[in-house]
C-alpha cells in the first residue's frame, strides 16, 4: 500500500505538467492542449482535502473525493489498468509486458552464467585459499566488479562488431518469417554481447561473496573432523560446506534479481536491447509518467517477491529457519 501511494505522489510532485512538455511548437493550439489534458485525466484535481490533516490542506474540500486523480489511479490499479503512455499512446501494461519478457531473457541468462562462473571460482579460490590461484582470482574479481558497465559494454561492442556479432536490438529485422529454430538462434546471437557484459560485471561480486563465506565455513571444526574422517574434497564441499556457505549468496542473488528487473539499464542502452531498463530510460527522457509509474510498481513487486523467495529458500537451506 505504501508503495502504491508513494508511487502516485512521486510523479505528481515533480514540477510541470506533461501536457506542456511538447508545447514548444507554434502548431500546438490551446484546444489541443486542453483535449490532451482531459484525455489523461490531468484536468481533475490530484486529491481532495483531508479533514484530519488540517491545517495542511492538500486540495479543495468541495470536490467529490471519487473524482480525484488519486482515486481514479487506485480504482484503475484494482482493475489492473495502468493507464496510457503519454509518449507512445499505447496501454502501459502492453508496453511493459513486451519489455519485461526481453529483460527476463537477458537478465536470466546473465544471472545464471554469472552465478555459475562466480560461484565456481569462489569455491575454487576458497579451497585454494592463500595461494597464487586464490590471489589471482581475488584480484580479477575485484577488477571486473569495479569495471564501469557501460565502458565494458562499449569495449565489447567494438570487439564484437569487428568479429561479425550483432551489436544492436534483439533480433535481425525480417527474421519473424524464418523457422523457429533459426529465430532462436538469431536471438541467441544478439544476446551474446550483452550477456557476456552482464556476466563479467556480476561474476566478481558472486565470486567474492562465495569465497569469503566458504572460507568461514571451512575454518569450522566440523570440516576439520570431516577431513580427519578421510572424506574427499568434493564430498566435504558438497555435503558439509557448500550448503552453509550458500546463505549469503542467496541473499545477494535475491536482491540482485529484484533490482535487475529494472534492468541492466546501462547494458540495455549500450546494446539497444528492448528491455525494461531501456523503457525506463526512455520514459524518463520523455517524462512519460504513466510508464514510469507502472515500471516502478513492477519493480517494487519484483523486489518484494524476490525477497520472499529468498526467505523461503533460507528455510530449505537452513532448517533452523522455520516458516511458521
Partner 1 sequence: MKQRTFYIIVLAALILAACGGGPAGTGDKVTVRIGWAGSPDTLNPGMAVLAESYTLFELVYDSMYELNLDGTFTLTLAESANLSDDALVWTYKIRDDVKFHDGVPLTAEDIVFSYNLYQSTEDYPWMGSYTGYFETMEATDNNEVVITLSEPIPNIESQLVFLYVLPKHIWENESAVEFENTAMIGSGPFKMVEYKQSEFVQLAANKEHFLTPPKVDEAIFQTFENTDALVQALKTGQMDMITEMPATAVATLEKEANVDIYVGAPFAPTVTDIILNQVSEENCPEGDGVCTGHPALQDRNVRLALAYATDKKQIVDIVLLGNGAPGLTLIPDGLGVWYNDSLKDYEFDLAKAQQILDDAGYKDSDGDGIRNMPDGSRNLTFRVNWPSDSVDGPRLAELLSGMWDKLDIKTELQAMDPDALTAVCCPAFDFDVMLWGWGSDPDPSLLLSVMTTDEIPTGSSETGYSNPEFDALYAQQAVELNFDKRVEIVWKMQEIVHNDVVYIIPYYDPNIQAFRTDRFTGWITDQAKIEFSDPSSLVVIEPVK
Query: Which candidate, 49, 3, 24, places its Cα nearest to that of 294?
Result: 3
Angle (deg, nearest 10), helices 2-12 and 289-317: 150
Distance CA 255, CA 258 (A): 5
* 235 counts as binding partner 1 under rule CB under 8 A: no
Contact 135, 224 (CB under 8 A): no
CB nearer to partner 1: give 267 or 303: 267
* 172 counts as binding partner 1 under rule CB under 8 A: yes
Segment near partner 1 (CB under 8 A); pick from 58-66, 174-182, 215-223, 312-320: 174-182
* 262 counts as binding partner 1 under rule CB under 8 A: no
Among 20, 44, 227, 243, interactor with partner 1 by CB under 8 A: 20
Q: 221: which 3 cell numbers?
A: 571444526
* 230 counts as binding partner 1 under rule CB under 8 A: no
Distance CA 283, CA 294 (A): 11
Q: 315: which 3 cell numbers?
A: 528455510
Among 1, 2, 13, 27, interactor with partner 1 by CB under 8 A: 27
Contact set for partner 1, span 266-295 (CB under 8 A)? 268-272, 274, 278-279, 281-282, 285, 287
Contacts of 116 (CB under 8 A, 6+ apart): none
CB nearer to partner 1: give 96 or 303: 96
Binding mask 29-58 for partner 1 (x = CB under 8 A): xxxx-xxx--x-------------------
Among 110, 166, 290, 294, interactor with partner 1 by CB under 8 A: 166
Contact set for partner 1, span 87-146 (CB under 8 A)? 87-90, 95, 98, 109, 112-113, 116, 120
Contact 101, 307 (CB under 8 A): no
Angle (deg, nearest 10), helices 69-78 and 2-12: 140
For residue 196, the minimal CB distance to partner 1 (Å) is 10
CB nearer to partner 1: give 207 or 279: 279
Query: Which candidate, 199, 194, 203, places its Cα nearest to that of 270?
Result: 194
State the Rg of the chain over Cα: 25
CB nearer to partner 1: give 176 or 323: 176
Amino acid at each position: 500500500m505504501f508503495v502504491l501511494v508513494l508511487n502516485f505522489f512521486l510523479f505528481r510532485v515533480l514540477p510541470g505538467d506533461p501536457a506542456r512538455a511538447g508545447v514548444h511548437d507554434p502548431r500546438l493550439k490551446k484546444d489541443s492542449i486542453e483535449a490532451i489534458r482531459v484525455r489523461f485525466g490531468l484536468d481533475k484535481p490530484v486529491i481532495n482535502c483531508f479533514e484530519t490533516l488540517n491545517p495542511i490542506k492538500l486540495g479543495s474540500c468541495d470536490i467529490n473525493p471519487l473524482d480525484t486523480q488519486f482515486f481514479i489511479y487506485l480504482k484503475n490499479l484494482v482493475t489492473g489498468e495502468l493507464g496510457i503512455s503519454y509518449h507512445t499512446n499505447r496501454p502501459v501494461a502492453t508496453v511493459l509486458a513486451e519489455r519485461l519478457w526481453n529483460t527476463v531473457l537477458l537478465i536470466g541468462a546473465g544471472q545464471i552464467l554469472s552465478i555459475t562462473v562466480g560461484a565456481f571460482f569462489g569455491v575454487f579460490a576458497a579451497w585454494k585459499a592463500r595461494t597464487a590461484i586464490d590471489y589471482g582470482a581475488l584480484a580479477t574479481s575485484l577488477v571486473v566488479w569495479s569495471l564501469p558497465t557501460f565502458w565494458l559494454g562499449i569495449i565489447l561492442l567494438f570487439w564484437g562488431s569487428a568479429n561479425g556479432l550483432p551489436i544492436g536490438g534483439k533480433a535481425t529485422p525480417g527474421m519473424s518469417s524464418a523457422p523457429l529454430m533459426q529465430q532462436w538462434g538469431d536471438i541467441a546471437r544478439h544476446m551474446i554481447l550483452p550477456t557476456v557484459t552482464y556476466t563479467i560485471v556480476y561474476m566478481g561480486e558472486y565470486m567474492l561473496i562465495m569465497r569469503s563465506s566458504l572460507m568461514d565455513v571451512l575454518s569450522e571444526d566440523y570440516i576439520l573432523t570431516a577431513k580427519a574422517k578421510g572424506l574427499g574434497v568434493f564430498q566435504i564441499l558438497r555435503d558439509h560446506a557448500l550448503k552453509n556457505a550458500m546463505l549469503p549468496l542467496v541473499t545477494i542473488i535475491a536482491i540482485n534479481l529484484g533490482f535487475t528487473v529494472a534492468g541492466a539499464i546501462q547494458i540495455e542502452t549500450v546494446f539497444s536491447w528492448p528491455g525494461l531498463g531501456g523503457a525506463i530510460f526512455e520514459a524518463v527522457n520523455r517524462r512519460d509518467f504513466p510508464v514510469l509509474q507502472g515500471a516502478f510498481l513492477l519493480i517494487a513487486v519484483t523486489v518484494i517477491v524476490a525477497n520472499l523467495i529468498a526467505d523461503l529458500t533460507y528455510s530449505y537451506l537452513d532448517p533452523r529457519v522455520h516458516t511458521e
